[in-house]
Amino acid sequence: MIKVANLKKSFTGQAVLRDISLNVAPGELIVILGESGSGKSVFLQHLIGLLKPDSGSIEIDGVDITTLSERKLLKLRKNIGYLFQEGALYDFMTVYENIAFPLHEHTRLRLKEIKEKVLNILKLVGLEKAGMKFPSELSGGMRKRAALARSVVLDSKILFCDEPTSGLDPKKSKEISDLINDISRRSKCTTVITSHDIYNSFRIADRLVLIDHGQIIARGKPEEIELSSDPKVKEFLI
């Protein structure tokens, strides 16, 4: 369970998050939609403790993470899968090594078990033939899939994905959205995705949250948002 209450954040006097409150139920898949610069990435960075709010709280499974020490935050992050907006694969490692890395770092699995897990996940994301390639040798869509594989390899119960479809064509966007949806449902992950991708967000989300200038302007099931008469919501959905 994630409970965000009255979160506020400014950078050099500019308010970026203005009093955001949001609960995410266990196993729920939420997509946060909003224009560029509306505060989506800043919000997600707060959820993993990379940024501290000016005020407000973020409870994850009963613990307020805004007051945790760096050491406790590191421990918390082991239990959270995080797909960065830019993918953030290590350029000097192959795809296989990138995905195996969290397993070497955070588990005591033996080499054979790691290999089995990595090969399974490569297959799941359709990269079984790309394990020995370096990130620079992949297409944008393949890089996103490799980064997604790395973010879910520890079987975390919480998954955050920042713009998983940005820069991809409609077919690839649909593929990666379906993949995240499958992985999230399969492992009953509590999932928060940020996106501009209205079409795929409506297809996969349990609930949508629209943010505008750091404020939530609408939230609800896709069919509820679709019927909204709020002019700002309608304008965003065009």
Ligand X SMILES: Nc1ncnc2c1ncn2[C@@H]1O[C@H](COP(=O)(O)OP(=O)(O)OP(=O)(O)O)[C@@H](O)[C@H]1O
CA distance 112 to 119: 11
What is the residue-wise DSSP string for 2-69? Answer: EEEEEEEEEETTEEEEEEEEEEE-TT-EEEEEE-TTSSHHHHHHHHTTSS--SEEEEEETTEEGGG--
Residue 16 partner contact from Mg ion, ligand X, none using kind-dependent CB cut-offs of 5 to 8 Å: ligand X
Q: Which residue is nearest to Mg ion (CB)?
A: 41
Question: Measuring CA to CA, how many Å separate 1 from each of 142, 171, 212?
Answer: 31, 32, 24
Q: What DSSP string runs through 149-177?
A: HHHHTT--SEEEEESTTTT--HHHHHHHH
**CB nearer to ligand X: pick between 163 and 175:** 163
Closer of 131 and 164 to Mg ion (Cβ)? 164
The least distance separating ligand X from the CB of residue 145, rounded to whole angstroms, comes to: 20
Contact 230, 218 (CB under 8 A): yes
150 contacts 98 by C-beta, under 8 angstroms:
yes
CA distance 102 to 97: 9
Q: Binds 39, which of Mg ion, ligand X, none (CB < 5 to 8 A, cut-off by type)?
A: ligand X
Q: Pick the closer one to ligand X by CB: 55 or 120.
A: 55
CB of 20 to ligand X, least distance (A): 12
Beta strand residue intervals within 172-227, DSSP E: 190-195, 207-212, 215-220
Residue 40 or residue 207: which is nearer to Mg ion going by CB?
Answer: 40
Q: Select the residue interacting with Mg ion from 41, 94, 151, 190 (CB under 5 A).
A: 41
CB of 212 to ligand X, least distance (A): 10
User: In the complex, which residues of this chain contact ligand X (CB under 6 A)?
Assistant: 11, 16, 34, 36-42, 85, 163, 196
Using the minimum distance from each CB to ligand X, give the nearer residue, 44 or 121. Answer: 44
Shorter beta-carbon distance to Mg ion: residue 35 or 169: 35
Tell which residue, 203, 198, 204, has the closest CA to residue 218.
198
Residue with tokens 């404020």: 215
Shortest approach of ligand X to residue 5 CB, angstroms?
Answer: 19
Among ligand X, Mg ion, none, residue 34 binds (CB under 5-8 Å by kind): ligand X
77 binds, among ligand X, Mg ion, none (CB under 5 to 8 A by kind): none
Shortest gap between Cβ of 144 and Mg ion (angstroms)? Answer: 14
Q: By rule CB under 5 A, what count of residues binds Mg ion?
A: 2
195 binding Mg ion? (CB under 5 A): no
170 binds, among ligand X, Mg ion, none (CB under 5 to 8 A by kind): none
Question: What gap in Å lies between CA 218 and CA 235, rounded to an integer?
Answer: 12
Interacting residues toward Mg ion by CB under 5 A: 40-41
